Structure 1
Amino acid sequence: MSTHTTPRRRAVRSALAAGVVAALALTGCSTRAEAGSETNAGGDILSIVDQRGETITLDGPAEKVAFAVMPAPSIFAAVDRSYDRIVGINSSTLKANQGGMFATMFPASAESPTIAGNDFIPNVETLLELDPDVVIQWGDSGAEVIDPIENAGFPVVGLEYGTQEDLETWITLFAQVAGKPERGEELVAWQQNEIEEMRAKVAARSEERPRAMMLSRTGDGYGTTTGTGYDGFQFDLVGAELVSQDFVSDSGQVSPEQILTWDPEVIFLSGFDEMTPEDVYADPRLASVTAVAEKRVYKTPLGGYRWQVPSAESPLMWAWMHHVLYPGQDTAEFREDIRAGFDDLFAYQISEDEIDRVLRTDLNAGSADYDQFAR
């Protein structure tokens, strides 16, 4: 049980005008499983339970939303099928927007003000200028990332990260913030249906699961993911054996020797850095790794956001991974799935050239079987 004081939007405006930060006491006792929203008899007030179990009260569907976290803006845009309500984002999100399809679909996203950086500490001065109705922030990263926002008079929806359940909760919360709960239900149902279909497809296979891993550039070395994060779910779902499942590293890096020991058959490259398959193929220390020797290293797609992390586009990532792991089977309709996905998620008619851009066909051209995604 917790008590949370959440400033009301109209009270904030009057308090800031007077130079005083005011708060109205609201009490919320809940768990994440109870996350939901209620509307009062007048049809205006929204009470939303976030992933901290706190109750946040808004004067109605938010018209201006600021995001200190990523990839939350792309998920909110998929819920709203618009970028119109998004007024501020994280600096990492801005970089992804400018480098991918998001700025093409929503030009304003390439110039959005940034309200936080990689440390997620909010820029309160920018928030006061933007005057959002609500701010989306991590709910489990300490008071230093939330208190400055609430002390400035802005309601905060706190999030947690790392599981498919968290992703579906984000979608539900954002739909509530936007006043579109039915849209949230539709997107969650799509995610769940795709999970069931992928599980059935993998269960029907008789061959051994390919050994695979996610690889990133970390300083002058390499980094990877483990089974404790989202990739523990994602790799298992698509029929891969995650070789780094139980890996522990004090330095946050993984050595070439360790990669040689794991000997992955497929390597997926993170979208959070500029490393390409050709960079990996050119590293003599990795030459005898099966994935390198057989040219099975692939840069992960960049659509509305980087596909490798939980997002509204995750079902497309699962399908792409499965096609890479098990090439040459049922790929004919994948480009159409991308086209339909962008239409439904972002109300955008994606072109053939843009699908190539999302799939990184230029960077992956030298990798085995990538021509299966050709138009």
Structure 2
Amino acid sequence: MPPAVLPPHPASPPSRRTVLRGLGAGSLALGGAGLLGACSSRDAQDTGAKSPEAGFTITDQRGKKISFDGPVTRIATAIIPSPSMLAAVDGGYDRIVGINESTLTANRQGVFGTLFPASKTTTTIAGADFVPNVETIMKLAPDVVLQWGDMGDEVIAPLESAGLKVIGLTYGTQEMMETWITIFGTLLGKSERATALLDRMHDEDTKVRALVDPYRKAAAPKVLYLKAASDGYTTATGSDYMTHWTELAGGVNVAHDIAADSPQVSTEQILSWDPDVILLSAFDDKAPADLFGDKALSPVRAVRDRRVYKVPLGGYRWDPPCCESPLMWRWTAQILHPEIASRNGLRAQIKDTFDLLYGYGISAAETDEVLRLDLNSKSAGYDGFRA
């Protein structure tokens, strides 16, 4: 049985280019606002699947069927966010033998490397362009390779030509992320666990919306998401996942109506938007102090009121869709509505989530690191995230 679902929340799907730029090193945040709880695409993934011990078949997001004779024990993935999600569904990291170099960077920077020390030395099989190193992958002898299913032959054909089994995935919306969880549940022989994770995610959606519902009658806070680029900043538009969690938390994305993918943002444009809140991507090193010290941005309301915040880095970066996304929803809700701090319970949710996803008892100090208390220490209201 598929998990109980919530009514869908309409939004525009992302373009593939938007998502890929968000995943690549030195590029913008991922995603696209999706249809939370829309389960039609998830339902198809387990169709005809048997227990992993007896052999099973998965239909990937290209619509291609991939059959396995028995349990999958070695997984290589060129896709950046998938290792943390595989580990969450599996409850461990032991089956992952190859990852993207950007994932390796995140593992070494964040708490994931503490959760799973092997993740800091895992062999890299692709870079920011996702082109696989087939020779390296063949040496790893994986049972399956996870790769983008809609980037064209350049990234997937060399793998299949080498005789490797490849699951092609697409990404960017809540619905697609939930599809991944279901596919991974089948792949790992953990379908019941995957369903439980989705049920919990839907329950969290309901609870976060209830927390912020009393504030929806007032003008929604204007939110700007910024990702550092070589010539300034890029932002997230209405088709990005950032819009999903911003709106869920009761805010509005000031760049919602821009049509371009990963658009460049000038100082003049930021001044024109005059956002109430600025959120800085977890994909780069920009910190609130950088904006507070920028005289050109000093007239901006978010800068003037010190409402600039660095996005947390947990088992994975919280900007894009992942199994920790409900934590991002709660974090954003408290950023936009600091008065809910006493009722939000984010730190307790982090502890429960890390225990559930990774079997890890996260400490108070590690929770501080996840929440970037050091980088956000001068930002307004951030004391509300302390223990």
TM-score of the alignment, normalized to the shorter chain, above 0.5? yes
**Alpha-carbon distance in structure 2 between the residues aligned to 1:232 and 1:85:** 33
Task: Identify the range of structure 1 (227-236 vs 297-306) with the bigger mean alpha-carbon deviation.
Answer: 227-236
1:187 has 2:192 as partner: no
Q: 1:43 Cα shift? A: 5.0
Alignment map for 1:53-72 (pairs within 5 Å):
53-72=63-82
Q: For structure 2, which runs of at least 5 residues remain unmatched after alignment?
A: 1-39
1:44 has 2:54 as partner: yes
**Among candidates 302, 316, 319, match of residue 313 of structure 2:** 302
Q: Structure 1 residue runs of 4+, over 6 Å off? A: none
The residue aligned with 1:4 is none
How has the CA–CA distance of structure 1 residues 40 and 278 changed in structure 2, closer, same or farther, with 3 Å as cutoff? closer
**Alpha-carbon distance in structure 2 between the residues aligned to 1:33 and 1:182:** 14
Q: 1:39 Cα shift? A: 4.2
1:92 has 2:79 as partner: no
**What are the Cα deviations for residues 237-282 of structure 1, in whole angstroms up to 9, with x where unaligned?**
1111100101245884110111111111001100111000000111
How has the CA–CA distance of structure 1 residues 117 and 209 changed in structure 2, closer, same or farther, with 3 Å as cutoff? same
**Alpha-carbon distance in structure 2 between the residues aligned to 1:143 and 1:92:** 22
How has the CA–CA distance of structure 1 residues 114 and 250 changed in structure 2, closer, same or farther, with 3 Å as cutoff? closer
**Alpha-carbon distance in structure 1 between the residues aligned to 2:50 and 2:180:** 23
**Alpha-carbon distance in structure 2 between the residues aligned to 1:70 and 1:350:** 23
Q: 1:221 Cα shift? A: 0.5
8 Å CA contact 1:164, 1:310 repeated in 2: yes
**Among candidates 292, 299, 324, match of residue 288 of structure 1:** 299
Instruction: State the AA in 1 paired with 2:297.
Output: L
The residue aligned with 1:121 is 131
Q: 1:40 Cα shift? A: 5.2
The residue aligned with 2:378 is 366
Task: Identify the range of structure 1 (263-272 vs 32-41) with the bigger mean alpha-carbon deviation.
Answer: 32-41
1:324 has 2:335 as partner: yes
**Alpha-carbon distance in structure 2 between the residues aligned to 1:141 and 1:110:** 27
The DSSP-based 3-state class of the residue aligned with 2:224 is strand
The DSSP-based 3-state class of the residue aligned with 1:89 is strand
**Alpha-carbon distance in structure 2 between the residues aligned to 1:122 and 1:369:** 44
The residue aligned with 1:264 is 275
Q: 1:93 Cα shift? A: 0.4
**What are the Cα deviations for residues 2-42 of structure 1, in whole angstroms up to 9, with x where unaligned?**
xxxxxxxxxxxxxxxxxxxxxxxxxxxx9776222534599
**Alpha-carbon distance in structure 2 between the residues aligned to 1:199 and 1:31:** 24
Per the normalisation by structure 1, the TM-score is 0.89
The residue aligned with 1:345 is 357
**Alpha-carbon distance in structure 1 between the residues aligned to 2:136 and 2:114:** 25
The DSSP-based 3-state class of the residue aligned with 2:338 is coil
8 Å CA contact 1:31, 1:53 repeated in 2: no
Instruction: State the AA in 1 paired with 2:64.
Output: E
Aligned CA RMSD, in angstroms, stands at 1.7
**What are the Cα deviations for residues 43-77 of structure 1, in whole angstroms up to 9, with x where unaligned?**
52110011111111112231001110011100000
The residue aligned with 1:277 is 288
**What are the Cα deviations for residues 101-126 of structure 1, in whole angstroms up to 9, with x where unaligned?**
00000000000001111110000011
Instruction: State the AA in 1 paired with 2:304.
Output: A
The DSSP-based 3-state class of the residue aligned with 1:161 is coil
Q: 1:208 Cα shift? A: 1.7
**Alpha-carbon distance in structure 2 between the residues aligned to 1:331 and 1:68:** 41
8 Å CA contact 2:66, 2:166 repeated in 1: yes
- Higher relative contact order (CA closer than 8 Å, sequence separation 6+): 2
**What are the Cα deviations for residues 205-232 of structure 1, in whole angstroms up to 9, with x where unaligned?**
2322100021111103111100112122
Q: 1:198 Cα shift? A: 2.2
Instruction: State the AA in 1 paired with 2:266.
Output: S
**Among candidates 232, 244, 256, match of residue 221 of structure 1:** 232
**What are the Cα deviations for residues 337-370 of structure 1, in whole angstroms up to 9, with x where unaligned?**
1111100010001000000000000000000000
The DSSP-based 3-state class of the residue aligned with 2:168 is strand
Task: Identify the range of structure 1 (355-364 vs 215-224) with the bigger mean alpha-carbon deviation.
Answer: 215-224
8 Å CA contact 1:286, 1:292 repeated in 2: yes
Q: Paired residues, what number? A: 346
The residue aligned with 2:253 is 242
1:253 has 2:267 as partner: no
Instruction: State the AA in 1 paired with 2:70.
Output: G
The DSSP-based 3-state class of the residue aligned with 1:95 is helix
The DSSP-based 3-state class of the residue aligned with 2:323 is coil
How has the CA–CA distance of structure 1 residues 40 and 255 changed in structure 2, closer, same or farther, with 3 Å as cutoff? closer
Bigger Cα Rg: 1
Instruction: State the AA in 1 paired with 2:335.
Output: V
**Alpha-carbon distance in structure 1 between the residues aligned to 2:50 and 2:120:** 37
**What are the Cα deviations for residues 277-335 of structure 1, in whole angstroms up to 9, with x where unaligned?**
00011111111110000000000000000011100000001000100110031446221
The residue aligned with 2:26 is none
**Alpha-carbon distance in structure 1 between the residues aligned to 2:70 and 2:251:** 44
The DSSP-based 3-state class of the residue aligned with 1:295 is coil
**Alpha-carbon distance in structure 2 between the residues aligned to 1:344 and 1:323:** 23
**Alpha-carbon distance in structure 2 between the residues aligned to 1:260 and 1:292:** 10
1:131 has 2:151 as partner: no
Task: Identify the range of structure 1 (331-340 vs 276-285) with the bigger mean alpha-carbon deviation.
Answer: 331-340
How has the CA–CA distance of structure 1 residues 40 and 348 changed in structure 2, closer, same or farther, with 3 Å as cutoff? closer
